[in-house]
Structure 1
């Protein structure tokens, strides 16, 4: 009878089982939250990269058009700058019209640049309703102003192109919308316009 009380069963007691379940639960919860955060940042960075890519390419295309222009006219349409580009200053109608809109981004002659392939990246993975929205909030062109009269023609050939794209996210934000802005600013020298002004 004494031998029977000295032997113990191998196995878990209720207390040990509770401790193991608690530790495993905490580890699983931590891994789930960590995975959710990693996934969120990956998705957000992928969308940010598309916005930066679009902004840099659109600015490069605008600079190409401006550097080839002999004359430009500026006005505003729907709160954004509209550029009328003339490749030859004798032309009466513009060769290229660059416009901007909140939903479509920048368009050249009413079409997306690069043969219609460069549209505002508002559609795609990790975007859409109740996720992330992309829009253009600012597009304006300013001429460089210099108070020295002898530098008027030179400073008039400089343009500042300012483009701001916005990313509105409602993913993992507790019902709030978080807005992030991406500014793109380029200073462009219109060499053709300057040379023709000197002639």
Structure 2
């Protein structure tokens, strides 16, 4: 029995619709989490994007944009494979993005405009629900484009650490130390991440 191109398209459309009604997956076998129809449970974490002042050293204070009034933003602890809910409030007058660096999450919560993630509106909020992974040390940070404004984007203080505990035994350790390195007061260096002397 021959199958026409029209039959292939019709069957493909039916299978696409049945897949959407059954629940889409993120390509890794787990249900894709979204921020639309967010769960009604209490958020695991709340992050607030706002302007603030950070004391980098005695008598060295910078005005910048932070998470929860601090730099780096608060450490977020997740368990690999266990769904989480994060409420992100934008207390600034410009739309923002929050990117989950190094995680395999659906595009609408990834926080990258180029992946199709919606912005967090100015003076607005988004509830993000997703399943963290893979295990390891990750970051969250802004993903807006600075353009000519060197007080925005990665030039600001919008970065924070994420620890995703593995499903299996994480091992024994005596102490945890999480470092977040950042240059403030933007300048153009010629040596990559570290200025040459």
- Structure (1 or 2) with the larger CA radius of gyration: 1
Shorter-chain TM band: under 0.3
Q: TM-score, normalised by structure 2?
A: 0.26
Q: TM-score, normalised by structure 1?
A: 0.26
More helix by share: 1
